[in-house]
Structure 1
Amino acid sequence: MTQLNFTLDFDKLKEGVMQSSLNDVLKSTIVIVLNQYMEMERNQYMQNYSHERDPEREDYRNGYYQRDFALNIGTISLKVPRTRSGNFKTDVFEKYKRNDQALILSMIEMVVNGVSTRKVTKVVEQLCDKTVSKSTVSDLMKQLDPVVKEWVERRLNNQYYRYLYVDAMYIKVREYHKVVSKAVYIAMGVNTEDKREIIGFQIANKESKENWKTFFESLINRGLQSPKLVISDAHEGLKSAIQEKFLGASWQRCTVHFLRNIMDHMPKKNTVEARQHLKEIFRASTAEISRTLKNEFIEKYGDDKRFEKVIDTLDNGYEDAVQYYAETKNTHKHIRTTNALERINEEIRRREKVIRIFPNQDSAFRLIGAILMDLDESMDKGNRRFIYERN
């Protein structure tokens, strides 16, 4: 590594700090450092020092030229050494190119994390003394397209996913001069190492059996095998698609959604005890205890006409909501609900709220895909697992 031998007058530096903004001091210091760094580079290239006579020299120093260097604290002006042959080149501006690339990546990351393109332009102007238009930010986002496409289409046959969580959320997209709702289908799997992966998503016009079948077919074509258990809400089209496309898989109805459906029919007054009883049914440690609690609830409230719809809903949906008991006990809290996937939806929603209305479906696919890639990379890193020790 090149050694930089220079000294700073700390009294002057202290005076500068007292009289100038911190950015100005930093800029001045960086100018000194980089100018001397480039001078040392030229000395190494020449294999001698300035004014040093050398009869075997092959090139001569030829002064300097000015060049701007964009940093995250602003733009600085550097004295770049040159030689008469023009063969000497400093590596500082390779770092300059990387700085521009880092700026591009940072802009993309800001948008992915929910910063509006309008705010991105202001941030870049303040940090880098550069003006960036909203259209430029949008164009930069298109650099994500091949990356997202490759991730979405990656093969799934190198892992077996025991549990599959699926859900749909709605976004707003501008289409043919109108604002329309689009359904975003998302699938998350838990593999044999008990780690979660976001294994696919697609955007469709609405949530329907045919669209769910198309989504599942795309996963199967990429190598997904039928899981042991599929966890979802009770959308009729989704249920039918699961039965048709994942032969041999059990379906676990999300207990949170199911309880919500039951509670919708619950009388408003004097039902605190009944509500608690219902929750305990799905928190029981074994299937036997759960079934006993369920039967006790029906026996206790069966003669009360206010509970007629409550009991019908419970009775009709109970079996689908307790499939998790067939799995080992340590998995129950993880697989009885779609909470793990709901949290992913919330992250998308948090960042999507900044945009509110996507300008087109491609932009929605690009941004949501980038968010999901980011979330996928951060889930269950290292030795961390979603489901821990097995019984």
Structure 2
Amino acid sequence: MPRVRTKSPVHQSSTPAPDAEPTSLEANSLALTMIQALIPLGLRAVEEALQQEVLALAGPRYAHADGRPAIARWGAQAGSVFLADQKVPIRVPRVRNRATNTEVPLATYAQLQTPRGHDVGLFRRVLGGLSCRDYEAAAEAVPEAFGLAKSSVSRRFVRASAQALQTLHERRHDDAEWLVLLLDGKSFADDQVVIALGVTTTGEKRILGLVQTATENKRVCATFLRELVERGFQTPTGLLVVLDGAKGLSAAVRDVFGERVPIQRCQWHKRENVVTYLPKAQQALWRRKLQAAYAKPTYAEARRALRQLVKELEQGNASAARSLEEGLEETLTLHRLDVFAKLGISFKTTNLIESVMARVEAKVHRVTHWRTSDQKQRWCAATLLEIEKQFRKVKGHQHLALLQAALRGKLTAPLTAA
């Protein structure tokens, strides 16, 4: 996607759009941010309109006997157009009058160089088309976001861009080999949204999908995971799943991927769950103790240190001891696979998803009024897709071959150790 820089609007109407969200200019700005995911499609509409004007002025390309010898195509040059008040770089075709040796200005290009006020209603129609899978309706609305009349853009563009939108939102995942699946449920606008993030065998990250659910229950999450599998989420060399410890997610994972699928339970969540049972004066100390135990490089050392902490907690707080003991083995899956030293930085917690959701919340937290569930899902999805473009490979990706080898075999230590 072309780099976008913000330019202060020159002429903005003080009258809000008649169907704008009742959430002030901040919400308008958020809508604009999310619609930037559609900039490549909008630029195709701009190119379509510019080429139509060039065709009207200079005739068909390479047609020299069409009665217009004085007007000719003259290459292209760098230029820019506006999406609302966002300036976007493009390549602009040139037309020249050979008789007068002067440039012929393109009226369409001049029209697109004027900043305009935000039209949140328009953006909502685009995103609404996406969420309703009415991709053609969404594609028809994209040119208007650039100030183009619907009649100036051909049906060919609408069909092509509608197909591109469908590909984006129903994309398959069988173009890569997947090695790690991270799942986490986060509160989003008073609802629960479960996000799936995949990591390939070469370390690339991708948002696989999301589902809105009241709780992280097994039935909804299992249906969601099966849909990912149907869209090509295949794991021929094995799969590691990273979770925060939610029982519904864990049950769904085992239901879809099998009882023996290795699950790495988030060590950060486990540590915080344990210390909540303790007085505040003791919490910092126990965070350090638990962190030191989990930092042991081998399974035997880490398990021995954690079992010792369970015994210490039993003396003063049985509830905290039970919390640590519950699911303890799953927090040591990377240790059992003997890859903790190399890959623990990326997969010992759910931080990869936590950081993504933090960026989503940073974009939408000022929105105070959500009208429908559909609106929440499309805003969240559009923001996630925009964030995905900035993903980098996971830390330690050069060691993923070690994880592949471990998953192809068996866990290096039994699930229950003496």
Note whether the superposition's TM-score is higher than 0.5.
yes
Q: 1:154 Cα shift?
A: 1.0
Q: 1:58 to 1:214 in 2, by over 3 A?
A: closer
Counterpart-to-counterpart distance in 1, 2:124 and 2:103: 34
C-alpha contact (below 8 Å) 2:311/2:321 kept by paired residues: no
- 1:212 is aligned, of 191, 216, 221, to 221
Range that drifts further, 142-151 or 161-170: 142-151
- 1:291 is aligned, of 303, 315, 322, to 303
- 1:238 is aligned, of 242, 249, 252, to 249
C-alpha contact (below 8 Å) 1:171/1:182 kept by paired residues: yes
Q: 1:196 Cα shift?
A: 1.2
Q: 1:242 Cα shift?
A: 0.8
Q: Which residue number corresponds to residue 221 of structure 1?
A: 230
Q: 1:204 to 1:136 in 2, by over 3 A?
A: same
What are the superposed Cα offsets for residues 56-80 of structure 1, whole Å, 9 maximum, x if unpaired? x9889xxxxxxxxx97699xxxxxx
Q: CA RMSD in A?
A: 3.6
Once the two structures are aligned, what percentage of the paired residues are identical? 19
Q: 1:96 to 1:205 in 2, by over 3 A?
A: farther
C-alpha contact (below 8 Å) 1:234/1:253 kept by paired residues: yes
Q: 1:144 to 1:270 in 2, by over 3 A?
A: closer
Q: 1:170 to 1:357 in 2, by over 3 A?
A: farther
Q: 1:261 Cα shift?
A: 0.9
Q: 1:323 Cα shift?
A: 0.6
Given the alignment of the two structures, is residue 345 of structure 1 paired with residue 357 of structure 2, yes or no?
yes
Given the alignment of the two structures, is residue 200 of structure 1 paired with residue 209 of structure 2, yes or no?
yes
Q: 1:152 to 1:252 in 2, by over 3 A?
A: farther
Q: Which residue number corresponds to residue 335 of structure 1?
A: 347
Q: 1:355 to 1:73 in 2, by over 3 A?
A: closer
C-alpha contact (below 8 Å) 1:196/1:386 kept by paired residues: no
Matched position secondary structure for 1:203: strand
Matched position secondary structure for 1:269: helix
Counterpart-to-counterpart distance in 1, 2:173 and 2:192: 23
Counterpart-to-counterpart distance in 2, 1:197 and 1:58: 52
Matched position secondary structure for 1:249: coil
**Runs of 5+ consecutive residues of structure 1 not aligned to the other structure:** 1-22, 24-40, 46-56, 61-69, 75-82, 101-126, 173-180
Q: 1:184 Cα shift?
A: 1.6
Matched position secondary structure for 2:280: coil
- 1:135 is aligned, of 117, 121, 140, to 121
Amino acid at match of 1:218: E
Given the alignment of the two structures, is residue 165 of structure 1 paired with residue 178 of structure 2, yes or no?
no
Matched position secondary structure for 2:253: helix
What are the superposed Cα offsets for residues 277-309 of structure 1, whole Å, 9 maximum, x if unpaired? 11211122221221121133234444x2x2211
C-alpha contact (below 8 Å) 1:195/1:387 kept by paired residues: no
**Equivalent pairs, count:** 281
Counterpart-to-counterpart distance in 1, 2:86 and 2:210: 39
Amino acid at match of 2:249: L
Given the alignment of the two structures, is residue 387 of structure 1 paired with residue 396 of structure 2, yes or no?
yes
Residues 1-391 of structure 1: pairs in structure 2 closer than 5 A: 90-96=104-110, 99=112, 128=115, 130-131=116-117, 133-142=119-128, 146=135, 149-172=166-189, 181-226=190-235, 227-247=238-258, 248-270=260-282, 272-302=284-314, 304=315, 306-325=316-335, 326-328=337-339, 329-380=341-392, 384-390=393-399
Counterpart-to-counterpart distance in 2, 1:90 and 1:363: 45
What are the superposed Cα offsets for residues 8-50 of structure 1, whole Å, 9 maximum, x if unpaired? xxxxxxxxxxxxxxx8xxxxxxxxxxxxxxxxx9xx98xxxxx
What are the superposed Cα offsets for residues 83-123 of structure 1, whole Å, 9 maximum, x if unpaired? 9xxxx9945224246x37xxxxxxxxxxxxxxxxxxxxxxx
Q: 1:132 Cα shift?
A: 5.0
Q: 1:385 Cα shift?
A: 4.7
C-alpha contact (below 8 Å) 2:267/2:349 kept by paired residues: yes
Counterpart-to-counterpart distance in 2, 1:58 and 1:316: 83
Counterpart-to-counterpart distance in 2, 1:157 and 1:277: 43
Q: 1:309 to 1:149 in 2, by over 3 A?
A: farther
Range that drifts further, 364-373 or 262-271: 262-271
Counterpart-to-counterpart distance in 1, 2:121 and 2:233: 39
Counterpart-to-counterpart distance in 2, 1:270 and 1:73: 52
Q: 1:161 Cα shift?
A: 1.3
Q: 1:243 Cα shift?
A: 0.8
Matched position secondary structure for 1:354: coil
Counterpart-to-counterpart distance in 1, 2:284 and 2:221: 38
C-alpha contact (below 8 Å) 1:185/1:215 kept by paired residues: no
Counterpart-to-counterpart distance in 2, 1:201 and 1:155: 14
C-alpha contact (below 8 Å) 1:152/1:200 kept by paired residues: no
Using structure 1 for the length normalisation, give the TM-score.
0.62
Range that drifts further, 252-261 or 351-360: 351-360
